[in-house]
Structure formats: C-alpha cells, structure tokens
Amino acid sequence: MAEPLFERLCLIGVGLIGSSIARVARARGDIARCVVASARTEATLRRVRELGIADEVEADPARAVRGADGVILCVPVGVYTQVMEAIAPHLAPGSVLSDVGSTKGSVLRDLLPLTPSTVHLVPAHPLAGTEHSGPDAGFAELFQGRYCILTPPPGSDPVAVERIAELWRRCGSIVETMDAATHDKVLAIVSHLPHLIAFTICGTADDLAQETREAVLKYAASGFRDFTRIAASDVDMWRDIFLNNREAVLEMLARFTEDAQAFGRAIRWGQAEFIEDRIRRGRKIRRGLIERKQA
C-alpha cells in the first residue's frame, strides 16, 4: 500500500461529497492516516459518529483544522467566507486547502484574500453527485470514473496541486486542470443550466390547476421523472451556485432562450428539417457521453 497522502485530513462539511471522501479514505487507507470531520449541526455530527466514517468528529471547525496538513471545504459555496474567517488563523503552515464547490471564480474571490501565505490553496470540483444529501447519502464509489476539475490560481505550488490531484485519482476520478473562468462557463451549460431548467419545469407543473397537476404527476413519463430527480437537489447548495455563478449562468440562459425560441418557431411554421436536426444533435451528444462512460 502506498503511503498516505495526508497525515491528518480535515473535512469541513460531511454531506454527500464530504461523507463519500471519508468513506473512500476509510476503505483505501492511503489517503489519510486520520480523517477529521466537522459539521454545523449536532444531528450530523452524531450520525457521522454512528456511521464510523471519521476518526475524529469536531463541532468547531477552528479546532478541527488544527494540525491538519489537508483541509477540504465540503459546504455550500455561499458560506465559504464565514467558514474561512473561522479557520484561517488555525490552518497549519504548509497545509493544503481545497474544496469541492461547483463554482470556482467565487471560490478564488472569497478564499484567496483570507488564505495565509503559508497555506496552499488548490480549489477542486468533483463532477459527481446524486439528488441526495447528508452523511447517509455518501458512498465510496461516487467518484469512480468521474471527472474532477482542479482550478489552482496562478503561481500555485506544484507539489500541493499534485497532492490534491493524487487524492482525487485515489478516489477514482479522472483529473483535469483549467482556469476558474473557463470552469464556470463550462459548468454553467453542462450542470447549472440543466438544474435551472429542471427547477423551472417542476415549478411550472406545480403552478397548473389542481386537476391538471394531478394528471401530470399521474402520467409522468420518464422525461419528466428525470427532471424531478434533478429538481430534488439540495436547496442551499443550488441557491448558492446560481448566485455565485450569476454571470455565466445568465449568459448560458440567454443563449438557451434564443435556441428554445428558434425551436418554437420551427414548430409553429412546420420546419421539420430544423426539428430533425436538433433531435439528431441530441442523440449524437448522448452517444458521445456513453462512449466516454459518463452516462
């Protein structure tokens, strides 16, 4: 077995992603000698203790990070500043600070000014998840074969970047690196906009007259059920994603709105060739995802 990457790895937040990292670390043994978990609520802390997925459980994040050579923020991006203000004075010199947030420009905006000069910041985003949340939702196989994008700021220590990259490789991920702005634009179209559409479709269905809504739910086909699965995602996390990736999401929404209106015009005017082209493009993208084993 390879040497553990970290002597003491602290996870701030133990929901789906945090608890999955903890489970991988527990199963493999070569990610950290000691895993420390910190969470906001006593109920979550109690459940983590019951599950036995961490070596130590600590309510106070400032105490949790003391002595840790690796710290990963697994909380909604909207609370990063609050958490960082609490832990920054207690981060060990030479430690590596990372995260799992779905927006990266906001992470650099919020964390860089508060990161001590002796601490290495290496933001990361595992492209894996389910609609479930909480410590019971995690599982060790969550990251297998899924991409994890690193967005280290310019001038980052290559050794620190490699430690985080290797952590995700040991979790089973395919690791890629890109700048934060590119990440946010890419994720706006492949993740954030699909969630916005799912929330909106379910909201539209819910706004219909009572008898119609019952029919929607009663006769929901697989397409609508897929949207409801996405729409069941965590409220706090997705509120923060939309607000912290505002510009990229609005840009992609504007482009989508134009394309949707063009599709609507094709339906109105009976432009079968246009409609067929859009359907074929969708089928092509689906085949590409299957070939890449990402479907």
| Residue position matching structure tokens 């690791």 | 175
pLDDT digits (tens, 9 = 90+) for 26-41: 999 999 999 999 999 9
Alpha carbons 42 and 48: distance in angstroms, whole number: 10
Query: And the tokens for 165?
Result: 């990259």
In this prediction, residue 205 carries a pLDDT of 83
This model's pTM is above 0.75 = yes
In this prediction, residue 84 carries a pLDDT of 97
Q: Is the pLDDT of residue 278 over 90?
A: yes
Element containing residue 159 per DSSP (H, E): helix 158-170
Helix (H, G, I), strand (E, B) or coil at 58: strand
Q: What is the 3-state secondary structure (H, E, C) of 227-290?
A: HHHHHCCCHHHHHHHHHHCHHHHHHHHHHHHHHHHHHHHHHHCCCHHHHHHHHHHHHHHHHHHH
Alpha carbons 135 and 139: distance in angstroms, whole number: 9
Q: Is the pLDDT of residue 104 over 70?
A: yes
Query: And the tokens for 19?
Result: 């608890």
In this prediction, residue 132 carries a pLDDT of 84
In this prediction, residue 295 carries a pLDDT of 67
Query: And the tokens for 225?
Result: 């059920």
User: How far is CA 235 from its chain centroid?
Assistant: 13
Element containing residue 96 per DSSP (H, E): strand 96-99
Q: Would you say 30 and 5 are in contact if contact means Cβ atoms under 8 Å apart?
A: yes
Q: Is the pLDDT of residue 209 over 80?
A: no
pLDDT digits (tens, 9 = 90+) for 114-136: 999 999 999 999 999 888 889 99
